[in-house]
Structure formats: C-alpha cells, structure tokens
Structure 1
Amino acid sequence: MDKKIAVLATGTNGCVISADLIGAGLDVTMIDMWAAHIEEMRANGLTVTTGDDVNNVKVNAYHLSDICTLNEKFDIVLLTSKAYDSKWLTEFIKPYLADDGVIVAVQNCMTAEMIADIVGVERTVGCVIELASQMFEPGQVRRSTPRERTWFGVGAFDPAHADRVEEIAEILRHAGRVEVIDEILSAKWTKLIVNAMIMGTMAILGGTPEQVLKQNGEAYAQRARDWFLQAGEEALAVGQAMDYKVVPVFGLKPEDVTNTNNFLETLLDKILHDIGPGPINTTLQDLMKGRYSETDMINGLIADERRNAGRPSPVSDVVVELTRQIHAGELKPDPSNLDLAREMMANQG
C-alpha cells in the first residue's frame, strides 16, 4: 500500500498503532504536541513493550509546529487524540489532507459528528477501539492488550460514503482484529457505555481492575461492580432515547447483546477480560499526570442529556464532580472514594 498515513496525537494508543503499521512497512508520519516525546523518538526510536516483548521501531516524527514544512498531503489521518482535542486538531490537519483523504476517529466519545462538520461526512470514518496501553516516559509505551486481543470496529459516518471503509480496515488489521460495522454511531455509543462504566469510575477509585476488584475484598468488589453497572444503566437509557441501537462490539455476537437482560454485565465482563487485570486506564493516567480527562465527554455528556430530558443522573453527576475535585487537587484517587460517591448519590435524593 502506497498511501501516506498520518497518526495525529500519538499518545499511548497512537504509538501502539503507529509501531504496528510501521512494522508492516506502511508509510506513517507521527505528529504530536509533546516535544520531549517527539525528540526522544527521533533520537532513539519508539519502544513498545508488550509483556516480555520489547519492540523498537524507527519513526518519522514531527512536532505540530513542523507540519508547515511538509509539502505532502495525507491520504489517511488516524486521529488518536483525546476527544476534547478533536475539533482543533481536525482544523489543524485539514489543509494537509488530500482531496480524497479521510480522517478516521480512532477515539473514545462521540467525535465523528465534530469531525464531519469540518471535513465533511464523505471524509469521515468512525472507529471503536479496544486497546489498553500506558505511557509515563517519552518514547516508551507499555501495551497491555496484545495484538490478538486488540479490536477495532470501523464504519462510515454516512453509509452512502462507505467505499473507503475496507481500505481503513485493511490498514488497522496490522494492529488488531477489525470488523466493519454499518451502525458505527450506535457502536460508538455502545463503547461510550463501557467507558461510562469503567473509565471515570475506576480512575476515581485509584486503581487497576486487579486492585479495585480483587484486592479490597469481595464485598467492596461487589459494591464497585454495582456502581459501574449503575453508570452503565444511565448511559444505556440515554442512548435508547437518542435512538442508538444495541450493537455488538469487541468481537461479541448479535446474540450476546440482543434479547438479554444481561447486556451491561456482558459488556463489563468482556472489557475486563480483554484488557486484563493490570492496565492503568487513560482517565487515571490523566489524573495521575494532573491533566484534563475525557470524563466530561463521557459521564458529563450522559448527565447533560438526562438533565435535558428531566431525568436524574446520580452516578454520572457524582463521577463528574469527583473527577473535578481530583483534578483541582481537592481529592486523591482512592478506594475510599466509593463510599464517598455512594454518600453523595444518596444525598441527591
């Protein structure tokens, strides 16, 4: 394949995907705003560690400020940024997108519409991703989800413009399993339900799945799990009100998610199995680094939609508020925050 590919905002997952595509011989340009990260990769390559396997690849890496020096345009841009950076990064890369180029939103949250508003629905491809990885040092990434358990769902924002989807799927198959999904926006909401259950909530509790669900006793684990499922119930109800369909993701089958009373439990168990016990999720990484997280675009979105419909959102409201307190330095991620959250929820009523 001779397509020119840009991976824009090469954080943890962007690095993992880039390394796999580069290893497959594809023409990949990595672009990021973290100067030390770019300089480290230029000097020593990108290192991705998966278990005991250490993979170092030479990369073509650019600072955002360097892009103005490029004379080429990209056929495919994999946007792997935080969701809240989607708009400005799409505007930033638009002049460097080929006339028939596409942007693939390899992200959490409901960003496809934002991107389509800027570059057009015909140049927007949605993507759902199941991949856990961590980065605390520039140029050094630890991949928790091995390639055989990594999963992507891709689909056209507008089915009338689905001709490029298989091309994107072919590229991403170098990094994991890929399914083409017709109802990509519904699939994105299904992933948002999963994120609502385990991202902000588990980050507030300050641990990995192993630490939260295995090391605090069975009673605590059950209370935490119940809290996660309550968050999922709020997200599921919002999605139904917005006419999103229940769509199998992460390799699940239609029969796993339809005509069942255990849809949320199935999603929760699947994601916990696939990511494994050890990863520090991206929201907790953000809180540990003192950075803004995607909680407002996950649990915050759910709370806003329920509020607009005149319905309470006790879990989502509390997740947003506790995340705000942690980011402001008023609170630390800790298992004891589960009792605090339950107390705050009770006081709402």
Structure 2
Amino acid sequence: MTEYQPPAAHGTTPGAPDDAAHAVAYDAVVLAGGAARRLGGADKPAVRVGGRPLLDRVLAACAGARTTVVVAGPRPTARPVTWAREDPPGGGPLAALDAGLRHVTAEHVVLLSADLPFLDGRTVAALLDTLRPGAADGVLLTDSDGRDQPLVAAYRTPALRRELAALSAAHGGTAGLPLRRLTGALDLHRISDPVASFDCDTWDDIATARARIREHGHVLDEWISAVKDELGIDLDVDTGVLLDLARDAAHGVARPAAPLTTFLVGYAAARAGGDADAVAEAARKAVALANRWAEEDAQDAAPAAPSGGAEPEPRTDAG
C-alpha cells in the first residue's frame, strides 16, 4: 500500500483543469482495464471515492486533453472519451498503451491509471510544463518510497511509438510484457509527489482515500468538485466569494437567505453567460445589497438622539 501524506493547501477545487495544462496541446490515455485482483476482482474504476467513480476523478484531472482515450470496456463517464481495447483483452499495460496510442495525434501524451483519487489538473500541468522545454522522453511522478510511477506521467508520443515498435518487433507483439521494458529504454525526468501518485490497489487504500477527502480543509473542495461533475458544470469559481456572500446574507438578512441568495446568484450568472466573471459580478451585487440591508436594519434599531442635546420642554395644556 502506498503511504499517504497530506497535500499542501491550495485554493482551487481538486480535479479542476489548470490553465497551464490547456496551454500545451496534449492527449491523454487512461488505462482502466486491469483485473484488480487485490480488490477481489472488483470493478476498480467504478469504485467511488468522495461520491465519484475513480475513473471520473482521473478524467477530471486531464479534462484539458484534446483527446482522452480510455482503454477498457465502455461504460458511462462524466466526460466524453474515446474507447479503445487492447488485443487481446487483458494483455497487460503495454498492449493497452499500444491500443490507446492508435487514437493519439498530439506530440505529448499524458498516461494515467484509473485509480488515482488525488490527481488533479495542476499535477498534469506540472508534468507537461516540465516535459515541454526539456530533452527527456518523459516526466513521471515518484511515490513516497521514491518508486517510479510510469502511469502518472507525460511522454513524448514519438518516443513511446518508437519503443513500442521495437518491443513488438523483438517479441512478436506487446501482450504480456511488463511496462518497465518500455520505460527502461526511455530518458525520463522524475518529480516527487507522494499525494498525486497515491493509487488504490487495496480496500485499505480506498478507505484511506475516502477518509482523507472528509478531513477538515479538504471536504468542501471535494464536495464542490463532486457536485460540478454530477451536474455537468465545468466552471472554476472562487468559493470564498460565495461563502462570504452566504455569510453576509445569513447575518444581514436571515439564515434562510444564505442558500436562497446563492441559488439566485447562480441563476443570474447563468443568464449573464455562466463564466467565472459572471458569478463574481452577481455575487458582488448581492453582497452589496446584503450590506445595505444590514445597514438599514442597524440604523432603524438605534435610538434617535435628541437635537442639540437639550432636554425637551414639558408640554402645557395650552399646547
């Protein structure tokens, strides 16, 4: 089991596509057809962590890919993908990679397994940004024990094709060959990331991942990411702005005003174009309104001070 270490704090939701990743044209190949023997043969890509299948979590991390190829039997996914199958089915990771690369056209390809609960768009961007300017054939992550994780990596597509062709010619195909036969022939750069490289091979790993996302400091980001996937929303917004709005509406108006106001802000933002700027502008207007509401309430509650500080004269019967 991979040792878990908590990640550094950050301000964006897990799995959100990173702008840097979008700057590099790349494709993604996700290997999702393993036997999962250490999980008792369970359908590992469908196992849920934080309410989402592991496969969908990985697909969210590489959402910036021009083409995403999943090598496995087709299944419902939160994002559209291209399906491929190794020949023969169950022929191992090299045969699966070979099948996936047949659908790849970009010069760079991100190769991922389907069991990475903590992978996110920032990690994908870091792999690509490290690969692009250098001379290496690929950039991969290492885990907490310093072991290479070749299924959390970015590669130059021609280098993969070159070595796959050489292995196929030497062995009459790639089925049954270990992945290290390919990576051992490549010039690789390594990045240490014990969190993003954490994979779920056992039920203990699954339990660790599920516990982590419910920790204070992570649960809100994880929940927002899960809701966006469930609703088909691909929008990265500043959750702090919305939380401040909910606080101001609850304190300045009434507690039920918080969820209703945030709903109305979302509706208004959708009508205005639905991007992050539209959300921010709608939230700004609602916060200003809540503050004005609270100011009026405070003014009405304050006792009126007498003018000039003089005591009022008693009224006489004459008026």
Could you state the TM-score of these two structures normalised by the residue count of structure 2?
0.30
> If you compute each CA radius of gyration, which structure gives the higher value, 1 or 2?
2
More strand by share: 1
Could you state the TM-score of these two structures normalised by the residue count of structure 1?
0.28
More helix by share: 1
Bigger RCO (CA 8 Å, 6+ sep): 2
